Amino acid sequence: MKELIKAMDSSNSRNLSRGLDTVLSHIGRNSPEYAGFVNMPVFRGSTILAQSLEEWDLRKSETNPMASYGRFGSPLTKAFESAIAELEGGYQSLVFPSGLSACTHALIGLLKAGDHLLISDSVYGPTRNFAEQVLRRMNIEVEFFNPTNLSDLSVKLKDSTRVIYVESPGSMTFEIQDIPAIAEIAHSINAFVVMDNTWATPLYFRPFEHGVDISIHAATKYLIGHSDGLLGIATANERAWPILQASAHVFGETAGPDDIFLAMRGLRTLSVRMERHWKNGLQLAQWLQSHKAVAQVLHPALPENPGFKLWQRDFLGASGLFGVILHPMSKNQLSTLFKEFKIFGIGLSWGGFESLALLADPLPRLDDSNGFKLGHLIRLHAGLEGAQDLIGDFSQALDAALAVG
């Protein structure tokens, strides 16, 4: 990202306008306060002692950055939350033990019995399950809308619509949504817009500039970046912040200090890693377009993609995650394809340094009008390996599968 963003200079506490890479290297650090160590230490603990009753009363204030108990975080927690809020352009952030936890608690904080939730039909599967299995049981009306059809969204609005939940690009099928237009629709009826922004990270999509009220990340993915931690974070604007904060605290949600440390570490290299993920993913997607076994490539940054113009307008880059639809294969051919991968692993999650491939069909969709071709949907994550090595690995695996017949 070429633009300059505001960052806190940890050594002298002055707001300076600096380039993104410099910001990521220094944000959330205060070496003089921690014996000169470059990285803030990990704080493990539950009990926090006060030196007087007056200090104890101050520690119990919700507006005090100091905490009365370990569940409310540590200096490391606050540093990471502040860093993400600043990078996203939000008001304040809260960490959660997983990305799904951030999604569910944002929703459960905003919604009450009798409310209506509109949720993108291409939403992350576990979030979809939570809405259908938990929110409906709480007498919250859940309805799905076509992620690329604003008319479908508009006709489903009700007086009771409280939240419009979006994910752009969509999970598995990678539709780009018109977030500013959706936000305008939502705010016209005083509803909140909640967005899962994990794919783009704070580097490549600035949610609050496009009307989002709460932005969510599975920090497990790109923010941590090494497949060795679990963490979620939600950032709110000033309107939504009190609701988000109250929901998290009432449910007792907290996150482990080691995972927060790993996320803070991940920020230092986020820009460098995302550039490689973007480059590798796009090169792999372009190559897959020309292979005879491929029916369709679902990558928002391809000019042929239906969402390309929206991606180009609103996003500052792309990640390494996209989808590919293969022409129909036999079960034996699919088995051979995945057995022959030498670099691509088979596994859940993504955002780490390693490349992954996952069979993703059939999809739980209510609306199949977005023009996806028939075949087998594979979700791909292009890691940090050499792009030509990834292409070569996919090529030999596809050739082996086709040879089975």
**CA–CA separation, 234 and 63 (whole Å):** 18
- CA-nearest of 138, 73, 128, 77 to 103 is 128
Which residues, at least 6 apart from 218, have a Cβ–Cβ distance to it below 8 Å?
98, 99, 100, 102, 196, 198, 231, 232, 351
**270 and 384 in contact (C-beta within 8 Å)?**
no
Residue 405: C-alpha distances to residues 46, 68, 329, 376 (Å):
60, 65, 9, 16
Catalytic residue numbers? 71, 124, 196, 221
Report DSSP state, residue 156. T
Enumerate the β-bridge partners of residue 381.
321, 356
**43 and 24 in contact (C-beta within 8 Å)?**
no
**CA–CA separation, 218 and 198 (whole Å):** 6
The total of other beta-carbon atoms located within 10 Å of residue 368's CB is 10
Report DSSP state, residue 233. E
- CA-nearest of 261, 323, 313, 263 to 289 is 323
- CA-nearest of 323, 337, 9 to 169 is 323
Q: Is residue 236 within a helix (H) or strand (E), and if so which, with residue range?
A: strand 232-236
The total of other beta-carbon atoms located within 10 Å of residue 312's CB is 12
